[in-house]
Structure 1
Amino acid sequence: MGKIIFLDVDGTLVDYENRLPESAVDAIRKARAAGHRVYICTGRSKAEVYQNLWDIGLDGMIGGNGSYVEEHDQVVMHQLITKEQCRKVVDWLQGRGLEFYLESNEGLFASERFEERGDVTIKEYTKQKGKPDAEHMTIRKAFPEMIFGGELYRDDVNKISFILDNYGDYLDAKDAFPDLHAGTWGGRGEETLFGDLGVKDIHKGNAIEQLLNYLHADLADTIAFGDAKVDIPMLEYCAYGVAMGNGGPEIKKMADYITDDVEEDGLYHAFRYLGLIE
């Protein structure tokens, strides 16, 4: 067996406007042809892994920041928020006036005013990533298959993301739901834009361990690629870690290698540097 490669999606495989560089597609296809395995390892649930990503050719995925593991359509592990936990979170967010969406393998289910409130936030998120045309970003562009008006009390939810009016919303959510893992994304500290709540005691490193056990594979053969703080556990767990040039300072500090930005063929250059492709 060759190397086992784990790729974060947003900011690593695709840019922050969901554009997939042709060089990344070429790198993955060449690596797989050379006998390496390639998995995406993402915060996205399966419903948000669109067909253009599967069309690259992948061996499987880790989703929900580690709550779901799939190997060639075979579900290796899936941990879910319970329906009762989901109901409590939905009621709490609605009572606080916070807009949110549920992340399920069956779809992304938005709260009543998520699109209206979220358009402002997604523009700011895109702007923070340095994109000059951020004012044209919308929720429907960012989440093209999001479901509006769907059932919100569900038993198939991996995690729940919600728009922060202020950092206190995240801190209060963390206190309100000690049985869940509370995180943030879309910025650092007081500048972060989103909070999320998911299954407790899971992360990308744990999920990789589950997959390696299933494959009877060697940790020494693993390489992880990421750009954000949430990717640090998988870079710490894997034998070798690569940070994208557009990544944050925390992940760059601990990575074994820093490649170019996602938009500057960073994935392709790293694959060549590591000898995964010629």
Structure 2
Amino acid sequence: MNRKLIFFDIDGTIIPEDTGVIPESTKEAIKKAKENGHLVFINTGRTFSGITQPIFDLEFNGYVCGCGTHIYFDGKKIYSSVIPKEKCIETVAVLRKNKVNAFYEGDKGIYFDYSYSNPFMERAKKMLRTNGKSVEVILEDKDEVFDKCLIKFTDEDIDKKDIIMPFFEANYYCIDRGEDMWEMAQKGHSKATGIQKVCEYLGADIDDCIAIGDSTNDLDMLKAVKNSVAMGNSMESILPYCSYKTTDIKEDGIYNALVHFGII
């Protein structure tokens, strides 16, 4: 078998969103895939600073972060794209003016705006296992920028959606995560472009790539490859775009998917 490049989402694919504990079968599957000569990659909307130690402990060959904006292979950064400082400041101003729930993700940290009540922050802190930094760092430090942001509209601020979305649609690649949550990534970048850049760097064929995910922010990479896997716990809307549906994340979903494709 040709060497395969396997790209894994994190949340809902590697890590169950309810327990936050990586299944032992997932750890074993990734270890066996590497032993069999394949390359394993994280491909996540999270920026590098948002990847937690349990993921690093699995020793992936590479990391595609921030929807394809920062890519690492074998411990080296091989690609990077950042949002201009002026655009970061303008984005914070738009969200702050309208008091919309959001947090910002960058290669150097996760940033929260403490200038107004933001219940979404607490959920994000728990998921990312960090208290992060104040967004004031972005506004005051010329060397710090963010690469993307995540917005969650609530019943209290849903009326602001029509006010701020034109700004984001003009300046960002907007990914509808469902339930009024939006991921705002850099235009021209996605999990799919991340796979393409890894292939270019390694001289690999995209037909030798497998993508595994569970939600709408995985659609780009699932559509980009011939062999795409939906977790058993996936959103129904992604199923038409996947060539195989495995079992639930907590029912050996990753292990079963890699067995299906002959990886292990």
C-alpha RMSD of matched pairs (Å):
2.0
Of 71-80 and 207-216, more deviation after overlay is shown by: 71-80
- 1:4-43 to structure 2, matched below 5 A, reads 4-17=5-18, 18-43=20-45
CA-CA distance at 1:60 after TM superposition: 0.6
Rounded to whole Å, the distance in 1 between the matches of 2:245 and 2:207 is 20
| Corresponding position: 1:175 with 2:166 | yes
SS of residue paired to 1:89 = helix
CA-CA distance at 1:113 after TM superposition: 5.9
How many residues are matched?
255
Deviation readout 1:137-158 (Å, 9 max, x if unpaired) = xx44223223243513264311
Counterpart of 1:127 in structure 2 is: none
Q: Is the 8 A contact 1:7 1:42 kept in 2?
A: yes
Counterpart of 2:126 in structure 1 is: 141
1:5 and 1:115, CA in 2 relative to 1: closer, same or farther beyond 3 A?
farther
Counterpart of 1:231 in structure 2 is: 218
Rounded to whole Å, the distance in 1 between the matches of 2:256 and 2:84 is 42
Rounded to whole Å, the distance in 1 between the matches of 2:188 and 2:161 is 18
| Corresponding position: 1:156 with 2:145 | yes
- 1:84-163 to structure 2, matched below 5 A, reads 84-112=86-114, 117-118=119-120, 122=123, 139-150=124-135, 151-153=137-139, 155-163=144-152
SS of residue paired to 1:263 = coil
Unaligned runs of 5+ in 2: none
Counterpart of 1:125 in structure 2 is: none
- 1:190-269 to structure 2, matched below 5 A, reads 191-192=179-180, 194-269=181-256
CA-CA distance at 1:201 after TM superposition: 1.9
Rounded to whole Å, the distance in 2 between the matches of 1:47 and 1:157 is 11
Counterpart of 1:136 in structure 2 is: none
1:141 partner letter: K
Deviation readout 1:158-200 (Å, 9 max, x if unpaired) = 1011231355544433312302222332x3xxx32x2232211
What's the TM-score once normalised by structure 1's chain length?
0.85
1:266 partner letter: G
Deviation readout 1:227-267 (Å, 9 max, x if unpaired) = 11121111111121010011112211221100011111100
Instruction: Indicate the percent of aligned positions where both proteins have the same amino acid.
Output: 27
Q: Is the 8 A contact 2:52 2:129 kept in 1?
A: no
Rounded to whole Å, the distance in 1 between the matches of 2:52 and 2:45 is 14
2:146 partner letter: V
Unaligned runs of 5+ in 1: 123-138
SS of residue paired to 1:43 = coil
1:46 and 1:216, CA in 2 relative to 1: closer, same or farther beyond 3 A?
same
CA-CA distance at 1:218 after TM superposition: 1.3
1:71 and 1:157, CA in 2 relative to 1: closer, same or farther beyond 3 A?
same
Rounded to whole Å, the distance in 1 between the matches of 2:175 and 2:159 is 13
Q: Is the 8 A contact 1:13 1:20 kept in 2?
A: yes
